[in-house]
Amino acid sequence: MNNMRHKKPLLVLLIMATVFFICNTTESPAITEGDPQKALEAFATISKVLRSPRCINCHPSDNVPRVGDDSHEHLFGVVRGAADHNGPVQKCATCHQNENNAYTRIPGAPHWGLAPIGMGWQGLSDAQLGQTLLDTSRNGNRSPEALVEHMSHDALVLWAWDPGEGRTPPPVPLDEFRAALQTWLENGATVPE
Ligand code: HEC
Ligand code: HEC
């Protein structure tokens, strides 16, 4: 009995430490200096995702969306067009709905469109990919925080992990991708030279 009484404060301390830990790890992201090496390792994980067909197919370096795991050119003469949402007759949303269509096999997610040409990632080296990503004149004027926010929650990004039958999700699980984004941010958002 006596023994138990001595252990109680320890237990309370343990619970407090756990609560503190949980609160701290769910804080909103902010860029901090940290360890650049850790940021580079995290970026290697991030770039694996960005290079996957699920992202690249909408981030080509030309005007044609790509399709499938082999990234072949989109059928029906679909091209970038005005405002990256195709010509006046065939909008992307004419065919692409807010969710995948299991019958027609047309993939779908809200605000389906082609990423602006400045966000084309096809054929870039790791260093070029990093620079393009961070270049505010090309990335929609996004800070590293805003980039991480976008890549953690945007509907088109999330679609990649639920792409419909016959399409392979990115090679990194979504929770690992999000963790890598956090680590990258917390260690200065460094990219390869
Ligand atoms: C259906 C097409 C589509 C898919 C799939 C897609 N994107 Fe995008 N992406 C876009 C469009 C359109 C924009 C521009 C909209 C904006 O700026 O909000 C964009 C913008 C971005 C941006 C901000 C711009 C930049 O270059 O800094 C990032 C980062 C991004 N996408 C990451 C991804 C990642 C990571 C994936 C895959 C997991 C992905 N996207 C999949 C269409 C797509
Ligand atoms: C006439 C209908 C039609 C229009 C318009 C259209 N698409 Fe598609 N799209 C399809 C079909 C059908 C598929 C599925 C093809 C398949 O999986 O073999 C597809 C697939 C895709 C994929 C492949 C996703 C992946 O990773 O495999 C992307 C990316 C895409 N479309 C982007 C666009 C963009 C961007 C626009 C507008 C600029 C657009 N599409 C306009 C019918 C259309």
Closest CA to 59 of 103, 3, 124: 124
The protein residue with its alpha carbon nearest to ligand 2, atom 42, reads: 95
CA dist 154 and 181 (Å) reads 14
Q: In a structure prediction context, what are the per-residue pLDDT tens digits for the chain, which is 193 residues long?
A: 455 556 677 777 777 776 666 555 544 567 888 899 999 999 999 999 999 999 999 999 998 999 999 999 998 777 777 666 666 667 888 899 999 999 999 999 999 999 999 999 999 999 999 999 999 999 989 999 999 999 999 999 999 999 999 999 999 999 999 999 999 999 999 999 9
Structure tokens at 121: 């990632």
Spatial distance between the Cα atoms of 2 and 76, rounded to a whole number of angstroms: 80
49 lines ligand 1 (CB under 6 A): yes
Q: Is residue 133 lining ligand 1, measured as CB closer than 6 Å?
A: yes
Ligand nearest to the CA of 59: 1
Token pair of 182, please? 């956090």
